[in-house]
Structure 1
Amino acid sequence: MKKILAINCGSTSTKVAYFEDDKMVSKVSLNITAEELKKMPKVLDQLEYRTNQVKQFLEENKLNPAEFDIIVTRAGTLPHVPVAGAYEVNELMIATLIYAPEAQHACTLSCLIAKRLVEGLDIPVIVYDPECVDSADEIAKITGIPEITNMPLVHLLNTKAAGIEYAKSVGKDYKDLNLIIAHLGGGITLGFHDHGRVADWVYDDEGPMSPQRAGAIPTRYMANFCYDWFKNGKTLKELRMYLCGQSGMVAYLGTQDVREVEKMIDEGDKKAELILKAMAYGVAKSIGQLAVIRNGKVDQIIITGGIAYSERITNWIKEKVSFIAPVTIIPGEKEMEALAWGALRVLNKEEEVHSYNVFPKGYKSIEEIINNPNCLA
């Protein structure tokens, strides 16, 4: 029997699950309130707090890290890797996530917490199916600025798991279908899964706003916003943290919890209804945007993630996109199962663990990364 611990840090919670072989024995979502997050605005500020939460979970469930066969985590904001699957959490990956992450996101903490748990122990730690797998069409990466190449990012773990679940439910193989899959969480991303390959995508900074993110902002406004931001003495780090943690729904309504917003709507708050509907509207527009990349050949639209539990939001989206393809709602997420099942395949020698060897752009050594004066974490 293989003992597997899975860790997945999201914007507002740390999900932890313990598996014995492919069976989930226990699972918890360790939430962090908006008030607590305000005290820890930088991602790394949260490391100690979240690590202690995980340790408490292990103690309460009488789980000893020394007895684990492997710990598998969600990958952080890393540079792009060529293939999906398992990657060893090594010194280069840790240095990159601490000193030169690609973006501000709590997922960065997942493997850092795991390494703390096994400090002094000979327990392997891996990440599985990173969000930064580059399988996209080359045409999708072209922008209007030659110096900027748009590289794919998507919630691969959950969207791929949802795609596999849907395919099984209709007696088909995930790799035989064209699927548009939208992940609705603290961040919202969408991907066009072309026979198992994410051919194009909409990341959470280029599509709809989300509970914590601004989404796409017209450049004619964004240029002035950035100019005023820096003119007032604020920094690039502060701007990134605002765009990826303090904007979107929470900036309008003071909460990142969709359930609270729905309660506000039920009590007659018209502004809350407009903002929530605008978020759903943006998701629908992004689905329409992706529908064209294979000339409208879409077998199914799938809406997943925590926000997909809201029938109000999913109905708003379905009203606008059902003409493209049928819509299936798979609320919640199967990221923990996807992580554990990947780790089990590694332990059973069905998959290899890739060596992580991708340096951030502009760096050639770990020492250069550690001495990075523009650390974003």
Structure 2
Amino acid sequence: MKRLLAINCGSTSTKIAWFEDATMVHKDSLDVPLADLATMPKVLDQLAYRTAQVTGFLAEHGCSVADLAMVVSRAGTIWHVPEAGAYEVNDLMIATLRYAPAAQHASSLSALIGVELVAGTDVPVIIYDPTCVDGVDPVAKITGIPEVVNMPVLHLLNTRKAGRTYAASVGKRYDELTLVIAHLGGGISLGLHERGRVVDWVYDDEGPMSPQRAGRIPTRYLADLCYDGSRNHQQMRMYLAGGAGLAAWFGTQDVRDVEAMIVAGDTRAELVYRAMALGVAKAIGELAVVRAGSVDQILLTGGIAYSAQFTAMVSDLVSFIAPVTVLPGEQEMEALAEGGLRVLGGEEPLYPYESLPPGYSSIEEIRAHPSFLA
């Protein structure tokens, strides 16, 4: 029997699960209160706090790190890698997450917590299915500004898991199918998964609005908004990717609240909600044309996929492209553990992490000259 620990840090929670083979034996989602977060303005400031949460979880359930075959962590804000799958948490990744991350996000703490936990042991720590896999068609990265290369980012962990789950349900392998998969959460992102590779994508800042994201905004309006003096650079980034979407329209990020407004006769809520669904449908169509409409199945997953109303609005618009399957919720902890088991069983490779941050030539340089994002 192989025991694995999965760690998944989100903005305001630390999710932990203990697996025995593929069976989740213990799990918890531990809140990080906003009042505590306010005392830790930088993501790295939270490392000791969240590590203590994980060690407390292990103590509560009588679990020992020494019994583990592997720690599998959600990938943090590393730089782009060439393949999906598993990467070892090596010195370069640790230095990158500490001193030169691609962005400020609590997910970066997942691997660092793993390293802290296994110190002094030979238990390996890996990440699985990072958001930043650059295996897309080169044409997908071209923009109208030569200096701006659109690098792929999407919710890969949950969408690849959804792809595997659907494939198994129809007696196929994930790498035999072409799927458009939409992750419907606080941010909405979509990918065109062709035979195991994401060949094109729509990230949560370039597609539909979502509960927390502005989505695609015409540049003529966005330029004016950025220079109207109401927000500085960091405030604007946080607004577009945290305070916009349904949160800006209605002061709530919960689609159930918006649906309750619609039931109560709020026509503005109905219009905005339908616009969000239309945005998802447009993005599905956008990805379908990349392979001239040759798509085996469209999958809707994530928390919003629990809404029959929302998924019906999307399905009604896109079912002419391919059949639609709804796989509600997230299975990120299971995806982490299953990925780790495939690595331990020799079914998948474990890649070395070799992506230096832009502008750096060595680990020593990263440590000596931290990024302003660190």
Map residues 121-270 of structure 1 onto 2, 5 A cutoff.
121-229=121-229, 234=232, 236-270=233-267
Give the corresponding residue for 1:364.
361
1:142 positional shift? 0.6
Task: Report matched runs for 1:315-326 at 5 Å.
Answer: 315-326=312-323
**Are positions 1:309 and 2:306 aligned together?**
yes
Assess if the C-alpha contact under 8 Å between 2:7 and 2:114 holds in 1: yes
1:346 aligns to 2:350 (yes or no) = no
- Determine if contact 2:17/2:26 at 8 Å carries over to the other structure: yes
State the alpha-carbon separation in 2 of the partners of residues 46 and 212 from structure 1: 23
Amino acid across the alignment from 1:367: E
C-alpha separation in 2, matches of 1:292 and 1:110:
36
- Gap change, CA 1:274 and 1:233, over 3 Å in 2: closer
Which one-letter code corresponds to 2:251 in the other structure?
A: G
Conserved? CA contact 2:302–2:328, under 8 Å: yes
Query: How many aligned positions are there?
Result: 374
1:240-297 residue CA offsets vs partner (Å, 9 max, x unmatched): 3333223222233223233333344444444443333332221111111111101111
Deviations 1:23-42 (A, max 9, x none): 22122233456776667665
CA contact (8 A) 2:214 2:245 kept: yes
Structure 1 pair 173/354, CA: closer, same or farther in 2 (3 Å)?
A: closer
Report if aligned partners of 1:154, 1:189 keep a CA contact under 8 Å in 2: yes
Q: Per-residue deviation at 1:193?
A: 0.8
The 1:233–1:326 alpha-carbon spacing in structure 2 relative to 1, beyond 3 Å, is closer
- Counterparts of 1:26 and 1:113 in 2: how far apart (Å)? 18
CA root-mean-square deviation: 2.4
1:104–1:241 contact (8 Å) kept in structure 2:
no
Deviations 1:128-176 (A, max 9, x none): 1222121111111111011111111122221111112112212222222
Matched with 1:108 is 108
Give the aligned residue type for 1:20.
Answer: E
Question: Gaps (5+ residues) in structure 2?
Answer: none
CA 1:146–1:309 in 2, change beyond 3 Å: closer, same or farther?
same
- TM-score, scaled relative to structure 1: 0.90
Q: Which one-letter code corresponds to 2:307 in the other structure?
A: S
- Cα displacement (A) at 1:185: 1.4
Identity within the alignment, %? 63
CA contact (8 A) 1:10 1:186 kept: no
Bigger mean CA offset, 162-171 vs 344-353:
344-353
Q: Which moved more, 1:41-50 or 1:77-86?
A: 41-50
TM (norm. structure 2) is 0.91
Secondary structure class of the residue paired with 2:257: helix
* Distance in 1 (alpha carbons) for counterparts of 2:202 and 2:247: 21
Aligned residue type for 2:363:
I
How far the C-alpha of 1:107 sits from its partner, in A, is 2.0
How far 1:49 moved relative to its partner?
Answer: 4.2
CA shift, 1:332, in A, is: 1.2
TM-aligned CA deviation for residue 84 of structure 1: 2.1
Aligned-pair CA distance for 1:8: 1.7
In structure 2, C-alpha distance between the alignment counterparts of 1:246 and 1:62, rounded to whole Å: 40
Contact 2:85 2:128 in 1 (8 A): yes
Q: Which runs of 4+ in 1 moved over 6 A?
A: 33-36
- 1:285–1:72 distance in 2 versus 1, CA, 3 Å: same
My pick for the range that moved more, 292-301 or 218-227, is: 218-227
